Chains A and B, each alone.
Chain A
Amino acid sequence: MTTNENGMVRLKINSIEVSADPSWSLLETIRFYGIEVPTLCYVEGLTPYGACRLCVVEIGSGDRTKLVASCTHPVWDGLVVRTHSKRVMKVRRMIMELLLARCPSSKVLQDMAAKMGISSVRFSPKHDDCILCGLCVRMCEEQMGAKAIGFAGRGVDRKITTPFDIRSDLCKACGACMYICPTCQLRCLGPEAKDPLCGGCTNIKPVCMEEGADDALCYMHPCVACVKEPEKV
């Protein structure tokens, strides 16, 4: 690999020329320079997996550009990267829509969707508990050294489970899988909406608070009154 005298490669992220260590992944580089890219299946310290595809970025120039998952993509000299191009944003929003439809009660997903400004979900909710990001599987194997859980089945039948769906002797009940899970722990306790999109917590608009109470917080739980109606497209 071509590197400069400091052993670094130079690449362009959103038209800004930056340098990076050739051992960094593209996502690590992007985040190092303070650019925010959403991820769900990536956690520092676990092997990148490249499954949620939220971290896609556009690489290349001219009409020969393509989208790649930055978490599993290496950096090299002369790489041209756009982290928030139209094409990238369209893909991220669509993925978010699909994930929300799968697990509408995940607070992590709802907050992420609200942040991305997603205003409608065009699919019917499935009310699943798991987005199959595989963080728990890698956590169990790589950090806890247990290898108690893994994937089974394929396609729509894919699931995370213990071998033969029975309690595994390898499981130390350490709870690391639950700790790392973006969907099953932090669940939205609000009323189950017909629309998989909630966005309640992020789109908060304190209508029920009295005027002049700017420094106070609403402790009602769950509060439905102050949730902004999702915009319909």
Chain B
Amino acid sequence: MIKVAKLKNPAELEKLQQRLQNEHDPEKPIITICNGTGCRALGSENVVSAFKKELKDQKLDGKVGLRPIGCPGFCEMGPIVVIQPENIFYKRVAVEDVGEIVNDTVTDGKLIDRLLYENSSGEKAVHEDDVDFYKKQMRLIIGNNSQIDPENILDYVAIDGYSTLAKVLSTMKPDDVINEITASGLRGRGGAGFPTGRKWKACRDSEGEPKYAICNADEGDPGAFMDRSLLEGNPHSVLEGLIICAFAIGSHEGYVYVRNEYPLAVKTLETAIKQAREYGFLGEDILGSGFDFDVKVIQGGGAFVCGESTALMASIEGRAGDPSPKYIHTTEKGLWGKPSNLNNVETLANVPLIMKNGSDWYRSIGTESSKGTKIFSLVGKINNTGLVEVPMGITLGEIIYDIGGGIPGGRKFKAVQTGGPSGGCIPESLLDLPVDYESLSKHGSMMGSGGMIVMDEDTCMVDIARYFINFLKGESCGKCVPCREGLERMGEILNGICEGKGKEGDIELLEDLGELLADASLCGLGTSAANPVLTTIEHFRDEYIAHIKEKRCPAGVCKSLIHYTIDESACTGCGECLKACPEGAITGEKKQAHTIKLDKCIKCGICYDVCKFDAVRKE
């Protein structure tokens, strides 16, 4: 890496950028490899070291660049290798493929057919742009991940990074920044969708010193990982947003609160902060503007509720992460009783974009009330698992079918759960719903931080509601009665329904409890906690009734309500199920129909999975 002394003014930054541009050889091949948390679990670190070794062995390490990057989004096909500048796209690359890629593709320019991604049309995609997963997306924020080695600040500087900060600090007044953000219509990406500009203004106008600029990276929703991917893939964009925010509200001290479960994000972020200090983007007299600002990373202790603003601030102060009433906003009295501005990771990543391209440009993307793009993590029963960044207003159907590639195994779509544990389930009839803050909340769900869990016909909606309530039951701080007692009782009732002990009146009692939670809980966790139950009751009441009255689980998920039998006419007596059964519950002579002893059966479903003749029935 080029060693540069602290940059003293915007001109020096521009000179550095010029120098990087001159040194950059557009013809030089660069191999980028996904190396975020998700792909590391698939062994991407080994792929990176194999590439390093291979390039060194072939004495190519000067001629070919190697760039481990954060998550580019297409997790289903990870680890992905893209060879720039042609952007040749290889999916699911393993260590064994490395030699071939270097020899054939990098050296000889030949494509390796088996590593190419096949689009749903059956056509092979050669270049990254040909992949239909990316086609309908608008990757303003996450798209940069593939240009950046998150551990190298110069990669970010080379793509114009920090020049927006330089522009803001040298030419704008804090109020202009706030006006620009307000005009852009940017709303909080953490869930509630509060207008960011208004929050900044409230904090700036509040009396009290010092003021704090805080970034909320306590992303706790099951199935959501966009904030993690931003911090792991492009930490400087978040830092730049935070510094601009601090300048706008008049803060000199900032915090990034990262959840305990994100060690890689913490590591990348700490490296980024260290490098930003070395280059003079953090610290005293940033780029000669006279503005001072520095950031500390705080690691959470593993509590979901600490994503709530007051709990988060309590946690930074060193107290237990219990939310407190906020009739007085945290922008007036937040951290240590001082005016504090809390923004989500993705919100802050949007800020440099807006300041660079202007609010008019930003307003042109999205719907009337929701502007810009939003990153969703698309997970569950979906073909293309991954992160998708789409303009607001795109329909759920487009995300699930055009980008997500539909449901695996040709099964039927049933519902999509948006907004994490506080969101709701949206049924098939609402697939045309445009995705923005208002539309989702009108149907009992919410944008949340952007988790999208897709469910197919084999998913039991009562079981889903039970899962989320049991999650929240353990994650509620336990301070206020509605949330603590209400969730426990809801869990009790839902567990009962799933175990076949449901009784008349359970649905009504769940609805009453849901109403209580929404009305009387202390913080946002409680007020939205009942959404998964209320929306599943609204859209899938039949399933609840089937569980309660007929003691039947239509999706065949709830163990207490199903049993396995063998259809004698279909069974060939192959013995596969008999061998696979861990309990020895299946008996039968070879080539004779087998039977399952119900008293021994633990309903694990292995026989159902191994039977090649569809002879095992689940009822």
Give Cα A132–Cα B324 distance, bound, in whole angstroms.
15
Give Cα A131–Cα B479 distance, bound, in whole angstroms.
10
Query: Counting chain A CB atoms within 10 Å of each CB, which of B322, B480, B481, B521 scores highest?
Result: B481
User: Residue-by-residue, is B495-515 near A (CB-CB < 8 Å gives 1, otherwise 0)?
Assistant: 000000000010001001101
Query: With A53-B482, A95-B481 in contact, do A73 and B509 touch (Cβ < 8 Å)?
Result: no
Interface window among A10-18, A154-162, A209-217, A222-230: A154-162
User: Restricting to B503-541, which residues have a CB under 8 Å from any CB of A?
Assistant: 505, 509, 512-513, 515-516, 519-522
Q: Is the interface of A mostly helix, strand, loop or mixed?
A: mixed
Determine if A53 and B522 form an interchain contact, defined as CB atoms under 8 angstroms apart: yes
Of chain A, the residue at the smallest CB distance from B479 is A51
Determine if B478 and A156 form an interchain contact, defined as CB atoms under 8 angstroms apart: yes
Q: Tell whether B320 is near chain A: CB-to-CB under 8 Å.
A: yes
User: Residue-by-residue, is B203-247 near A (CB-CB < 8 Å gives 1, otherwise 0)?
Assistant: 000000000000000000000000000000000000000000000
Interface window among A64-72, A163-171, A190-198: A64-72
Give Cα A132–Cα B522 distance, bound, in whole angstroms.
15
Give Cα A91–Cα B325 distance, bound, in whole angstroms.
18
Q: Tell whether B67 is near chain A: CB-to-CB under 8 Å.
A: no
From B479, B488, B513, B516, contact of A156 by CB (8 A): B488
Of chain B, the residue at the smallest CB distance from A158 is B478
Determine if A154 and B305 form an interchain contact, defined as CB atoms under 8 angstroms apart: yes
Determine if B489 and A50 form an interchain contact, defined as CB atoms under 8 angstroms apart: no
Determine if A50 and B325 form an interchain contact, defined as CB atoms under 8 angstroms apart: yes
Q: Is the interface of B mostly helix, strand, loop or mixed?
A: helix
Query: With A56-B520, A69-B325, A95-B520 in contact, do A122 and B473 touch (Cβ < 8 Å)?
Result: no
From A67, A123, A150, contact of B489 by CB (8 A): A123
Which residues from A are CB-within-8-Å of B325?
50, 69, 72-73
User: Residue-by-residue, is B303-325 near A (CB-CB < 8 Å gives 1, otherwise 0)?
Assistant: 10100000000000000111011
Query: With A67-B519, A87-B519 in contact, do A51 and B481 touch (Cβ < 8 Å)?
Result: yes
Which residues from A are CB-within-8-Å of B489?
98, 101, 123
Of chain B, the residue at the smallest CB distance from A87 is B519
Which residues from A are CB-within-8-Å of B505?
122
Give Cα A72–Cα B326 distance, bound, in whole angstroms.
9
Determine if A156 and B482 form an interchain contact, defined as CB atoms under 8 angstroms apart: no
Q: Shortest beta-carbon distance, A50 to chain B, in Å?
A: 5
Of chain B, the residue at the smallest CB distance from A94 is B516
Q: Tell whether B476 is near chain A: CB-to-CB under 8 Å.
A: yes
Query: Counting chain B CB atoms within 10 Å of each CB, which of A50, A56, A150, A153 scores highest?
Result: A50
User: Restricting to B464-489, which residues have a CB under 8 Å from any CB of A?
Assistant: 473-482, 484-489
Determine if A155 and B482 form an interchain contact, defined as CB atoms under 8 angstroms apart: no
Determine if B486 and A98 form an interchain contact, defined as CB atoms under 8 angstroms apart: yes
Q: Tell whether A52 is near chain B: CB-to-CB under 8 Å.
A: yes
Give Cα A117–Cα B515 distance, bound, in whole angstroms.
20
User: Restricting to A96-122, which residues have a CB under 8 Å from any CB of B?
Assistant: 98-99, 101-102, 122
Of chain A, the residue at the smallest CB distance from B505 is A122
From B328, B484, B486, B487, contact of A74 by CB (8 A): B328
Which residues from A are CB-within-8-Å of B486?
98
Query: With A50-B522, A69-B325, A73-B327 in contact, do A156 and B474 touch (Cβ < 8 Å)?
Result: yes
Of chain A, the residue at the smallest CB distance from B305 is A154
User: Residue-by-residue, is A159-185 near B (CB-CB < 8 Å gives 1, otherwise 0)?
Assistant: 000000000000000000000000000
Query: With A74-B327, A123-B489, A132-B484 in contact, do A154 and B522 touch (Cβ < 8 Å)?
Result: no
Determine if B512 and A155 form an interchain contact, defined as CB atoms under 8 angstroms apart: no
Q: Shortest beta-carbon distance, B44 to chain A, in Å?
A: 35
Give Cα A56–Cα B517 distance, bound, in whole angstroms.
13
Which residues from B are CB-within-8-Å of A151?
320, 322, 478
Give Cα A99–Cα B516 distance, bound, in whole angstroms.
13
Spell out A's residues near B (CB within 8 Å): 49-53, 56, 66-69, 72-74, 87, 90-91, 94-95, 98-99, 101-102, 122-124, 131-132, 134, 150-151, 153-158
Sample of 16 A–B contacts (CB below 8 Å)? A51-B481, A53-B521, A74-B327, A90-B515, A91-B482, A98-B481, A98-B485, A101-B489, A123-B489, A123-B492, A132-B484, A154-B305, A154-B321, A154-B476, A157-B474, A158-B479
10 smallest A-B Cβ distances: which pairs?
A: A158-B478, A98-B485, A72-B325, A155-B476, A94-B516, A91-B520, A53-B520, A155-B474, A67-B519, A50-B325
